[in-house]
């Protein structure tokens, strides 16, 4: 790993990916009926659970970190590194 690499940014990127996968895994409930198996989201049927989703918004972090790292790469490209 290069010495000038920002480990905090790497941590945020990895953490946001892990949280996205965990949220999708944890918030998918399969409902089985006589004719089908269908996914359902408990946020609509569990009172107040939507508030939790506002606290754990990680997609903005993911896109911020991606933009930051791409800007660094673009700057290195322009310098000819």
Q: Does residue 78 contact residue 70 with C-beta atoms inside 8 Å? A: no
pLDDT at 58: 85
Give the number of other Cβ atoms within 10 Å of residue 16's Cβ. 20
pLDDT at 35: 94
Residue with tokens 């998918």: 28
Torsion of CA 56, 60, 76, 1, to 10 degrees: 20
Distance, in Å, from the CA atom of 26 to the CA atom of 42, rounded to the nearest integer, reads 9
Residue 58 phi/psi, 5-degree rounding, is -110, -15
User: Mind listing the pLDDT tens digit of every residue in the chain (81 residues)?
Assistant: 667 788 999 899 899 889 888 888 877 888 899 999 988 877 777 788 788 778 778 888 889 999 998 998 899 899 987
């Amino acid at each position: 790993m290069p010495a000038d690499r920002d480990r905090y940014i790497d941590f945020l990127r990895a953490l946001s990916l892990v949280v996205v996968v965990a949220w999708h895994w944890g918030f998918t409930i399969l409902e089985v009926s006589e004719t089908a198996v269908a996914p359902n989201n408990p946020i609509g049927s569990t009172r107040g659970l939507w508030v939790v989703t506002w606290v754990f918004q990680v997609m903005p972090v993911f896109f911020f970190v991606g933009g930051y790292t791409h800007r660094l790469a673009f700057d290195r490209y322009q310098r000819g590194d």
